[in-house]
Amino acid sequence: MITKFYRWILITLMVVGITCLLVLPSSSIAGMANSYSEPSNSLTPKLGSTPFYLTPSYPLSPSSTAVPVNPPVTSPQAYLPFITHVPPPIHAMRVAYADYEKSRGEVDQIEKQMQAAGINMVGLGAGRVEWTYFKWAGHEANWSNDIKSTQVDYLAEDTNRFGKWAHINAVVDVFAPNYIKAHPETAAISFVGQPSQNLVSTTELVSGEFGQQLLDMIDYIAANYPVDSISLTELFYHIDGYGPDDKASYLAYSAQYGNPRTDWPRTTDGTIDINDISIGNWRTHVLDVYLDKIVAACHKYGKKFFMDVGLSLDDLTKVTNEHGTNYNVVLEHTDKLVIWGYFELDDYPPEYFEDIAQFLKGFGQDRVILSIGLWNKAGGATTASKLETAILASQSGGMPNLWITPSTLMDVDHWNVLEKLWGR
């Protein structure tokens, strides 16, 4: 009798316990959001509805990137473990080849080196509008000579190979030297009146034939290649972008947003004041409207879009507004920024990456990749020791997502550094 009584008590306790588990909420922290937020899909221009001198308030402290704080413990639910997905750090390598035609013999070795070094993202050159490393159907005249002679689609081959174990980013270069030779009137004009050999004018890019061809190229890659993301590189206006068409665009923008002008702002000696904030506002606006079209093309096919930008080394808080790539505006739609940290070329020590990283993490660690360039001013590579210092300084400053460029400057010592720091 006593045995049956205890058995009844035991069964009752088990039923009550199971019932409590079933009704208990699955998450103990309501309202807690992952720190990553998807970019908006709106294509509304950002600067147009604001005062003419719109730039971020300096110094910047982006409120959208605040780290959530655990709520106070007020109920038994708060004792449940909070589980969130933390993506692994991005360890990217920009793969380049000195000679694409002879590159197939290098692929095995570089793949082994990247895997040993813990690389999980690979940047592959897609080429330029006028010189592609993929077979752009209907644009055979734009294929690189390497493709024409070998019939190898380098982007397809490397994507299929490296994509088995890494995120693939197709890098599109905006330079257009051949296009400018054929259409000299489209060249960007410097603030002292010299035509660029590589960049078309801002207006030609955002509303001209070249800009449309660039959009078509990106759309084709996104639709036909199994890459994970596409990035745009070399889009840096500051010295260039002051020709008649760009001036007309600037004046129209100024009039539309309440500050009519008849000329570019100028310094006391009459030179165009390329650092005037209004020029950066205008260029950021028109470029952002164009970049939104690229983002839409990429997202249409499920691909992310990354934007290469520089650093305002005289004052990081300028966030390259002077280049027309204000981080705050570009990040409203772009999935990630790839920020160039070419320290030897720009004359700063690798230790400075800690300060750079501390600043950049305010924009969201998952929205920024810091690119460490290997070039030195002598035309060679920085040392493996300096590379290690740069990586450790960046990570110490709070920037886990790092991109090393280019692979052609990596020697055994550089690879050993990556394997020691990131190796699997």
Residue-by-residue pLDDT tens, the chain, 424 positions: 444 444 554 555 554 454 444 444 443 333 333 333 333 333 333 333 333 333 333 332 233 333 233 333 333 344 344 555 678 999 999 999 999 999 999 999 999 999 999 999 999 999 999 999 999 999 999 999 999 999 999 999 999 999 999 999 999 999 999 999 999 999 999 999 999 999 999 999 999 999 999 999 999 999 999 999 999 999 999 999 999 999 999 999 999 999 999 999 999 999 999 999 999 999 999 999 999 999 999 999 999 999 999 999 999 999 999 999 999 999 998 999 999 999 999 999 999 999 999 999 999 999 999 999 999 999 999 999 999 999 999 999 999 999 999 999 999 999 999 999 999 7
pLDDT of the residue at 8: 52
Q: Encoding tokens for residue 202?
A: 């801002």
Residue 266 and residue 374: Cα distance in Å, rounded? Answer: 37
- Which single residue is written with the structure tokens 């035309």? 379
* H or E, element range at 167: strand 167-173
pLDDT at 148: 97
**On the CB side of 127, how many CA atoms lie within 13 Å of its CA?**
22
Q: What is the CATH number of domain 90-422?
A: 3.20.20.80
- Separation of alpha carbons 185 and 246, rounded Å: 12
Angle 39-45-49 (CA atoms, 0-180°, nearest 5)? 120
Q: How far apart are CA 332 and CA 50, in angstroms?
A: 15
Euclidean distance between CA atoms 319 and 329, whole angstroms: 10
- The whole-model pTM stands at 0.81
Q: Which residues pair with 231 in a beta bridge?
A: 171, 306
- How far are the Cα atoms of 97, 233, 264 from residue 375, in angstroms, in the given order? 15, 17, 35
Q: Which of 302, 291, 313 is nearest to 235 (CA)?
A: 291
- Closest C-alpha to 130, from 187, 174, 189: 174
**Residue 298: helix, strand or coil by DSSP?**
helix
Bridge partners of residue 187, in order along the sequence:
200
**8-state DSSP, 56:** P
Residue 5: predicted pLDDT: 45
All residues at 6 or more sequence positions from 122 whose CB lies less than 8 Å from its CB, including other chains: 92, 93, 95, 114, 158, 162, 166, 167, 168, 169
For residue 91, the 8-state DSSP code is E
d(CA 330, CA 319): 10
Amino acid at 41: N
